[in-house]
Structure 1
Amino acid sequence: MKEYYVYIITNYDQSVLYTGVTSDLVKRIYEHKNKLTDGFSQKYNLQYLIHYEVHNDINIAISREKLIKRWKRQWKIDLIKKINPQFIDLYNNGNIMAIPQI
């Protein structure tokens, strides 16, 4: 079964949070880290994966992404802190650290 990921990335000082969706999380974060994507993430140097969720249905993943994008910043921070209270980068040289399901 194919998996889809809703993810949140940030910059060094965590001043910007970006929410996205992808079917290949490792590739997508690699692209962000190496500035292979034009636009918002490149402009704000967003390269630290601080949250992700796995979904088996692309429609659910897209709906979740849209929902999180509408959230207030503090709600996003609260979501991240449930799983990753230290805001550590969950991407390490092509490997994604496992996180518990919420």
Structure 2
Amino acid sequence: MDKGNEHFFYVLECKDGTYYAGYTNDLEKRVRVHNEGKGAKYTRARIPVRCIYMESFETKREAMRAEYQFKQLTRNAKERYMRKGQGTDEITKKC
């Protein structure tokens, strides 16, 4: 898959332990923008953030669908989703 055509659903862990889920086509840049306080309003007061989970998709629509579905889950279900996606019992993956 060409790097320019990748679309990412990602999850950040904020300084206060909360999660923020989003979509981007440039994950490294997006995390940097969040940590500069120029990202989403939610993360501005919760920096630093760290990327703990990501999935890559071929289309923007697929990535945004994954983001929407993730946001509908409870916190416990979100943690199970991320563990399952990583094939591990811990959520430790950095993006």
Could you state the TM-score of these two structures normalised by the residue count of structure 2? 0.81
Aligned residues: 90
Instruction: Please provide the CA RMSD for this pair.
Output: 1.9
Structure 1 runs, 4 residues or longer, greater than 6 Å off: none
Structure 1 unaligned blocks of 5 or more: 91-95, 97-102
Give 1:87 deviation, angstroms: 3.5
Deviation at 1:45, TM superposition (A): 2.3
Within 5 Å, give how 1:78-89 maps onto structure 2: 78-82=80-84, 83=86, 85-88=89-92
Match of 1:72 in 2: 74
Percent identity over the alignment is 21
**Does the 8 A contact of 1:4 with 1:23 survive in 2?**
yes
Correspondence for 1:100: none
Gaps of 5+ in 2: none
CA distance in 2, matches of 1:38, 1:18: 9
* 1:26–1:20 Cα change, 3 Å: same
- Residue by residue, what CA displacement relative to the aligned partner does 1:24-66 show, whole Å, maximum 9, x if unpaired? 0010011112222251011222511000000001111111111
